[in-house]
Structure 1
């Protein structure tokens, strides 16, 4: 996947960001989302958030990834469920059950691309969250933060590569509306998942 400036500046990329902005903001305003960027974050807030995101990534890898296999060349490198499991293990947290997050979707490839756009965007945002959670003594040694570390120093380039792929895919298949619907669905489904288990 190349990252040519002309493709990255695609009008579609602006459209998807604009049309999902409200759903994105709504999700970020939930107490569980706000808790991990708060200076008063507690370790149990962090663990609870990871547990919820494990459900999200488990569903993504089981439902979305199979549709995109062979279409996105570095898809395997974008799996995050194991990273969360490693972090939860470090925190001595045992997850006993999982909730379905994307349970009522009629998945198509463009719709799945939209869901992955949200997941990859959260990886980019996770780098900012990492700065906050790393101030916690138990998490300051680089342990327990695999998920928010994302792709490490390559996080920016992975994001650009995905945006480039998505813009090219949209241009070739003329499916922008369906990709955007998938992204909105992902934001709203994660919101509903978070809200349903508020502590």
Structure 2
């Protein structure tokens, strides 16, 4: 097996169920998704990404390992998308229950979730339902991510992971960080999903 793939494969396999649970709270690929759903999605992602990216940016170990956190930030893209829809990103609540980054391995696990979402964004962008398809190129900077550089940046991240997660203990720490990141994201999204469901029930 390619050594670059081994720790990434474990991260993917050991977080797969949580990844699916998180996706249950995102409605923008549903056939009946609306612009309101998309606005809610952008706001929820900004509220989680912005403080998490700040956390990673302040982690000295990540920078020393070659992870350029400022260059990889996507919160500004979310803010730009909200502005394009005439929403004020400054009014979006920020998540305060963030995963721990007490070691480089845990921080890489956290970063894995954010970096993996750059690949997922391109998947979502290509499959937006009809009501949202017209937003492409107008309010989809976050989903577009790093554009043609997305693949290269993911490979650079994979190389860092392969180099730094070079023991079973480091891999286990990274998995713990990634799992906690998904768990905190689910906790962040769940109340918003329940609120949207209640609003739909009231409307009907």
Range with greater deviation from structure 2 (93-102 or 43-52): 93-102
Range with greater deviation from structure 2 (56-65 or 182-191): 56-65
Q: Which residue of 2 aligns with 1:28?
A: 23
Extract unaligned runs of 5+ from structure 2: 197-204
Q: TM-score, normalised by structure 1?
A: 0.86
Between the aligned partners of 1:98 and 1:118, the Cα distance in structure 2 is 21
Alpha-carbon shift at residue 111 of structure 1 (Å): 1.0
Q: TM-score, normalised by structure 2?
A: 0.84
Is the counterpart of residue 47 in structure 1 residue 39 in structure 2? yes
Q: Which residue of 1 aligns with 2:200?
A: none
Alpha-carbon shift at residue 16 of structure 1 (Å): 1.5
Q: How does 1:1-199 map to 2 (within 5 A)?
A: 6-10=2-6, 12-30=7-25, 33=26, 35-67=27-59, 68-95=62-89, 96-103=91-98, 105=100, 107-133=102-128, 135=130, 136=132, 138-140=134-136, 142-171=137-166, 174-198=169-193, 199=196
Between the aligned partners of 1:166 and 1:137, the Cα distance in structure 2 is 35
What is the aligned residue count?
Answer: 190
Q: Which runs of 4+ in 1 moved over 6 A?
A: none
Question: What is the root-mean-square deviation of aligned Cα atoms in Å?
Answer: 2.1
Alpha-carbon shift at residue 29 of structure 1 (Å): 1.9
Q: Which residue of 1 aligns with 2:199?
A: none
